[in-house]
Structure 1
Amino acid sequence: MSNALVNGLAGAGGGIIAQIISYPLQTVNTRQQTERVAKTKRGGRSPPGAGGTLVQIFKVVRGEGWGGLYSGLKPSLLGTAASQGIYYYFYQVFKNKAEAIAIAHRNNGRGDGTVGMFSWLVVAAIAGSFNVLLTNPIWVLVTRMQTHTQAERKVIEAKREALLMEASESNFIGSTLQDKLAQLDSTKPSPYGTLHAAREVYNEAGITGFWKGIIPTLIMVCNPSIQFMIYESSLKHLRAKRSSNKQGINNVTALEVFLLGALAKLGATMSTYPLLVVKSRLQAKQEIGGSMLRYSGTFDAIMKMIRFEGLSSFYKGMSTKIVQSVFAASVLFMVKEELVKAFVVLADKCQKFRLNIVK
């Protein structure tokens, strides 16, 4: 089995485990990112999604049950397995090529035979682009499912405002109005599965709707690029230090990999977070924005966010994302490295078994 395939399978396994553990934080973070409140409303009451991460988790559990924190988990696990598998496979393929080129340059008297930071960036960017183009439809559905309740709430609020405005213009407030308002207040979000979300996206924008947010997502390829540049450079430095101390180049513990993964993801997340917010808003139902804060594309979203909500809107839910992404990335790296080691041990045992049979 090639090392690219081994890394792809290990990345998929690590990604699934990390996703299951950190998914409630991801759901809350997506709702924080997509909540749209114009600056003129900031002096009034807080929006339904306001509050810290723990407060919002309790609100979701109280209003939707524990299942609300896991909306869209099934397609998310599929997306995680596909994303991590595709990413790590192509990453290892291009990493092998980069290392072969570096060795060839050393043999020709150029360089020391190791891959530089810029090469790590290029390798990660190419692998990330393949991943984004192939898996974006899955993440559109996940975002829709995570924010479905949020969008339904906005629709109900708009209907309530319309009823009250109609009543005030006609100077009529009676039992009929009270009945309609009570009916709206008792309305619960309709069931929303993966196929429902897919049909809705297709009816809204056709097949291209499954690639909503592709521009900021492609730009965000620099996130894993930065992440892997920090990770690989730190890992290389640690292994070089261990080698110089005669401790063995592979003597890196799972805890050290966990910490390196956390450091790498922290740096990448902080530098690319605004793009993540724009992507989530484009992929979510536009009903969340009411009649004014709806977006027709990436540039329109950026301009309206600056105009109506201010620059701070690009960093909504950032603290939640840092906790979720850093923890998930740390778990992913740790599990992936351990799975790769397990694959290597298993392959060695299979090889020895075959040799014994031949003898």
Structure 2
Amino acid sequence: MAGKQALAGFGAGFTSTTILHPLDMVKTRLQGKYAFDDADKRHRKPMFGRTVSMLRAISHQDGLRGLYRGLTPNLAGATASWALYFWWYDMFKARATKDEHGHMSPGQHLIASAQAGALTAITTNPLWVVKTRMCVTNRTDQHAYRGLLDGLGQIARKEGIRGLYKGMVPALFGVSHGALQFMAYEDLKKWRINVNPAKNKERLSTLEYMVMASTSKLFATVSTYPYQVLRSRLQNQQEANQKYRGVADAIGLLGFYKGLAPNALRVLPGTCITFVVYENLSAYFREHARPAPN
């Protein structure tokens, strides 16, 4: 069963990442250092306005291909992350002690999700380092990576293993994001089924999955968004080489929420797409599973 969960997670990650990569790239760029330069303060726009302006600027300079720069490492990271995450998450849930109704407590969901998230973060961090650096550079930049393998190779040669694992500490801290999200999501699913016991426990409606996924994701995002900013800045080579007395000194309190607007644009449709695809693929695999041989 864990293998089918991994396949469903792979499909969910591939679908949502392909559709929403341009917004993810804008979010990553807005989290970068240049978004906090003093010169930028004179031309401040509302965050949604800056999102649209940056999308236009990128497409004007590099065309449609520019909006999808970094897609390959993003796809590799997203599909690997979701596949591994759901695989390990299902394994940890299977080993957990259930109550008399076969349910897990919110704390058990939190622990299972955190364990799966930590293993996933360690495994996929190099992919996210390349994705981040490709998203904050243009194709014409002198040292721009040509692709995923080129990026991994350059980092390994020039920076060693430590370079591939920049941002690992905040990434591990970010495990709390997935843990909070899945704890809320699982509890919302359990609550929905308890409200209407006659409801099919194997598959809820698409709208119900969308509402529960969005609610749980917003809860986790608001709680943990600052770590994403810190992680992006550490993974960006130019910023990682700069010495700060402290992160708050460098970007200020509001700086921890830079890029939140495009993230908010991406988080709801992205989460809805991911979980609707995942839940429907999981249900399909359950319904079409071959009976185990005797």
TM-score (normalizing by structure 2): 0.90
What whole-Å deviation, never above 9, does each CA across 1:86-125 have from its counterpart, x for those lacking one? 1000000001112xx124xx4xxxxx65211111110100
Distance in 1, matches of 2:172 and 2:139, equals: 26
Please name the residue that 1:65 is paired with: 63
Question: What amino acid is the match of 2:173?
Answer: I
Q: CA deviation at 1:336?
A: 0.6
Please name the residue that 1:223 is paired with: 177
Give 3-state SS (helix, strand or coil) of 1:126's partner. Answer: helix
Distance in 1, matches of 2:92 and 2:7, equals: 16
* Structure-2 change in CA distance of 1:11 and 1:43 (3 Å): closer
Give 3-state SS (helix, strand or coil) of 1:102's partner. Answer: coil
| Matching residue within 97, 102, 105 for 2:98 | 102
Residues 37 and 309 of structure 1 are in contact (CA less than 8 Å); yes or no, is this contact kept in structure 2?
Answer: no
1:1-359 equivalences under 5 Å are 3-36=1-34, 40-41=38-39, 44=42, 51-98=49-96, 101-103=97-99, 106=100, 113-149=102-138, 152=141, 192-243=146-197, 246-250=198-202, 252-286=204-238, 294-296=239-241, 303-347=245-289, 350-351=290-291
* Structure-2 change in CA distance of 1:351 and 1:203 (3 Å): closer
Residues 16 and 274 of structure 2 are in contact (CA less than 8 Å); yes or no, is this contact kept in structure 1?
Answer: yes
Identity %: 30
Distance in 1, matches of 2:160 and 2:211, equals: 43
Question: What amino acid is the match of 1:276?
Answer: Q
Distance in 1, matches of 2:171 and 2:133, equals: 16
Aligned residue pairs: how many?
Answer: 293
Distance in 2, matches of 1:150 and 1:278, equals: 24
Q: CA deviation at 1:150?
A: 9.5
Q: CA deviation at 1:54?
A: 1.4
Residues 124 and 228 of structure 1 are in contact (CA less than 8 Å); yes or no, is this contact kept in structure 2?
Answer: yes
Give 3-state SS (helix, strand or coil) of 1:13's partner. Answer: helix
Q: CA deviation at 1:50?
A: 10
Question: What amino acid is the match of 1:94?
Answer: F
Question: What amino acid is the match of 2:196?
Answer: R
Give 3-state SS (helix, strand or coil) of 2:98's partner. Answer: helix
What whole-Å deviation, never above 9, does each CA across 1:286-306 have from its counterpart, x for those lacking one? 1xxxxxxx3359xx66x4442
What whole-Å deviation, never above 9, does each CA across 1:150-170 have from its counterpart, x for those lacking one? 994xxxxxxxxxxxxxxxxxx
Distance in 1, matches of 2:66 and 2:237, equals: 17
Distance in 1, matches of 2:160 and 2:202, equals: 50
Q: CA deviation at 1:345?
A: 2.1
* Structure-2 change in CA distance of 1:11 and 1:39 (3 Å): closer
Q: CA deviation at 1:284?
A: 1.6
Q: What is the RMSD computed on CA atoms of the aligned residues?
A: 2.7
* Structure-2 change in CA distance of 1:73 and 1:133 (3 Å): same
Distance in 2, matches of 1:262 and 1:80, equals: 18
* Structure-2 change in CA distance of 1:259 and 1:86 (3 Å): same
Please name the residue that 1:181 is paired with: none
Residues 147 and 285 of structure 1 are in contact (CA less than 8 Å); yes or no, is this contact kept in structure 2?
Answer: no
Distance in 2, matches of 1:12 and 1:231, equals: 19
> Which structure would you say has the larger Rg?
1
Query: Is the deviation greater in 216-225 or in 306-315?
Result: 306-315
Q: CA deviation at 1:31?
A: 0.4
Unaligned runs of 5+ in 2: none
Residues 239 and 250 of structure 1 are in contact (CA less than 8 Å); yes or no, is this contact kept in structure 2?
Answer: no
Q: CA deviation at 1:53?
A: 1.3
Question: What amino acid is the match of 2:202?
Answer: N
What whole-Å deviation, never above 9, does each CA across 1:21-44 have from its counterpart, x for those lacking one? 111100110000013356754554
* Structure-2 change in CA distance of 1:199 and 1:256 (3 Å): same
Residues 74 and 127 of structure 2 are in contact (CA less than 8 Å); yes or no, is this contact kept in structure 1?
Answer: yes
Distance in 2, matches of 1:252 and 1:43, equals: 47
Distance in 2, matches of 1:40 and 1:338, equals: 48
